[in-house]
Structure 1
């Protein structure tokens, strides 16, 4: 179908797990608990459980699809194969636009922790350019750097937990249960669902493994295992951190904190802990940004191969075996977004695209034949319903802007097909 050289299968199970963790254990764990606590108080723990359930349903759908279609492109490729070209295009378009915004958000989050006041945007631009260069010179370099970042971030989170225990001791479980019950009643279903929507995006990186399907060894076995393993580890980490922060700062203190994990680390009077956590937050943002840039480049490659993006981006570098033109274009677009948008706007715009992407993944997995099925259809039905429910929690402006951009993409493809038909 195309004459470009293929990507090489260089990644094993451990590489894939670390890439998934690098995408999930990013800026979200350092920032998402404050707005979630504002929405639901201690009941954010219920929201976290709901987010984990939806994420698990989406992860199993992605794993099942990736095992049957071990190629680059993620749900773009799966949607084309299982549902048709239009479904695949919408999924790929939503992934690219949503994750470009996510990259901008991660870069801005990194700069908020690492840059001196007034220098946030220039530092974010330098970070994007540097990580794009890492991706350009090969996926094994991406996997190695991601491992280093993930290990450092996990060590940082361990310091947060130790600080919380030193400050407050072992939490009173019965008192916590009573507070959880009270906050759940006060927040109501909408508040809990809103907290789930805020926390869900901290999990959304597991499908990054699927977008690298053409570079994973033994993909039918490796990809499903890597997705479930990385998600399980992330859920456990988030649960421990949520309990620690709530027990140390309380739900009200968590809700008003600009940096709840840094405040938790500072609570026992450890002067070295807070700056360490800030460095960890910056590293986590870089890890997520690194994996995001790689995933967008591979999806753009797959779309260009099918002419859903310009064929120019279908090139694979003859030496480094990466989609180098797509990588450069992604870096330039993210830099433009960093210079033009704010953090809140980037996150809202990204959320819409991510949820549509996973909704299509669940529908595609639902349609798979019995011989390709690894998980029951009930999980895909629950995942699709969860995506719709979480879309409802998004700000109205984010939904409107996201829908308009999706319509622009659909219009672009319709015009291209019309022009081809007239030739």
Structure 2
């Protein structure tokens, strides 16, 4: 193993739990009540539709990951397909968006912590900071340890959610589901766009492809298993919540008469008896911590990959010889995470970041089409997406529809992230690379690349005296 190599410590189970852990969190413990306000009982359909719209991206990611099993995931695929400008926008933008998602998860612990212990509201943020620091340390000392903790956390959470579903089906009341569609098709579409972020963690496993054993086999399996399981869990859990919790509680049972921030806890006593609230609160804390852990693990690899390609300073991507982890990338990610928790209203900003994630998902579907149609020699994936190119085109259309449904503020957030990332490219990265993507190379008439563009073209310009 070379000095800059990462250790392949994550097997199939760890890869599955990493992906699921990045999805189980706010999407199931916080968002259902907010989504209910937008769609009524049809929020159940919205969760299922969101998963179906994410599925093409999962297939595209799985294919590209087996062709390019490198850390960096989304950044790698878009960069190699479209060039370093789009790669920089995707890499920084997704990193930025997912760090917000991790911060949101840790801050979201507050509402559930208050169900367990009586602490001043001011200390909730302190607890989130302590948990954030713990997650950062865990990711520094080794991917294997982080993966083991992730596996334990996700297994416990899934077991509790399974028990919740089984126990809740028998207590749900049919009257709660009628009328089913209360806000029309538009309400379902809006709710689908809103809960889409619940599935955004599907790409985390591709972000650590270099650290997964037998990536050609384990990455596609992990992604498809995790999204399949999560579609079932989300739909079933939300179905139980809708069938048990009164509409008034979901819509007005939260702070200051707003939507409930603890919808699962609102139904916990009916499902589990007197200890129900405690069981759900503990599970929520574990799940949200798991989401943050997966977020730091995956997002730090975007910085690692961009550093290797000279789009970020070399020091950012250095691998620690003792822990075999990108310590500096983890520290940068962790520092931003803690700063967001301490100083920024991350709940609002996380909404702004979600539209950007949908945009990037669409670009990844387009990237598969670019790689396939260019017929380049180096692109030889072990797994090929079924239904190509119809699946990818439907995924892009679904993404556009969701972005439109998210409203002007979210669209402006995506534009702002894109502009900020582009400014970094022109101010720093452009002068450090001469690489071109497959798309530009193809239009130049050279489709016989035997290596990815980062190796087949010049990595960096010579430094000027």
Matched, 1:150 2:149: no
1:130 corresponds in structure 2 to 134
Unaligned runs of 5+ in 1: none
Unaligned runs of 5+ in 2: 253-259, 433-460
The structure whose RCO (Cα within 8 Å, separation 6+) is larger is 1
Give the TM-score taking structure 1 as reference length: 0.92
2:368 to 345, 359, 365: 365
2:186 to 184, 190, 193: 190
2:441 corresponds in structure 1 to none
Structure 1's 61 and 268: CA in aligned 2 closer, same or farther, altered over 3 A?
closer
Matched, 1:328 2:331: yes
How far did residue 210 of structure 1 move? Answer: 0.3
- The CA RMSD measured in Å over matched residues stands at 2.1
Structure 1's 55 and 250: CA in aligned 2 closer, same or farther, altered over 3 A?
farther
1:207 corresponds in structure 2 to 203
Matched, 1:374 2:385: yes
Instruction: Tell me whether 344-353 or 86-95 shows the greater mean CA deviation.
Output: 344-353
How far did residue 178 of structure 1 move? Answer: 6.0
Q: How does 1:28-43 map to 2 (within 5 A)?
A: 28-43=27-42
How far did residue 374 of structure 1 move? Answer: 2.8
Q: Distance in 1 between matches of 2:39 and 2:340?
A: 31
How far did residue 344 of structure 1 move? Answer: 2.4
Q: Distance in 2 between matches of 1:359 and 1:269?
A: 41
Structure 1's 333 and 252: CA in aligned 2 closer, same or farther, altered over 3 A?
same
Give the TM-score taking structure 2 as reference length: 0.84
How far did residue 242 of structure 1 move? Answer: 1.4
Instruction: Tell me whether 301-310 or 390-399 shows the greater mean CA deviation.
Output: 390-399
CA contact (8 A) 2:41 2:177 kept: no
Q: Distance in 2 between matches of 1:349 and 1:177?
A: 31
CA contact (8 A) 1:7 1:214 kept: yes
Structure label with greater radius of gyration:
2
Q: How does 1:21-420 map to 2 (within 5 A)?
A: 21-114=20-113, 116=119, 117-165=121-169, 167-168=171-172, 172=174, 179-180=179-180, 183=181, 186-256=182-252, 257-267=260-270, 270-369=273-372, 372=381, 373-375=384-386, 376-417=388-429, 419=431
Q: Distance in 2 between matches of 1:367 and 1:96?
A: 23
Q: Distance in 2 between matches of 1:92 and 1:121?
A: 28
Q: Distance in 2 between matches of 1:213 and 1:332?
A: 24
Higher helix share: 1
Q: Distance in 1 between matches of 2:316 and 2:3?
A: 11
SS class of match (2:69): coil
CA contact (8 A) 1:40 1:192 kept: yes
Q: Distance in 2 between matches of 1:323 and 1:268?
A: 44
CA contact (8 A) 2:269 2:277 kept: yes
How far did residue 90 of structure 1 move? Answer: 1.6
Structure 1's 6 and 251: CA in aligned 2 closer, same or farther, altered over 3 A?
same
Q: Distance in 1 between matches of 2:238 and 2:22?
A: 19
CA contact (8 A) 2:177 2:242 kept: no
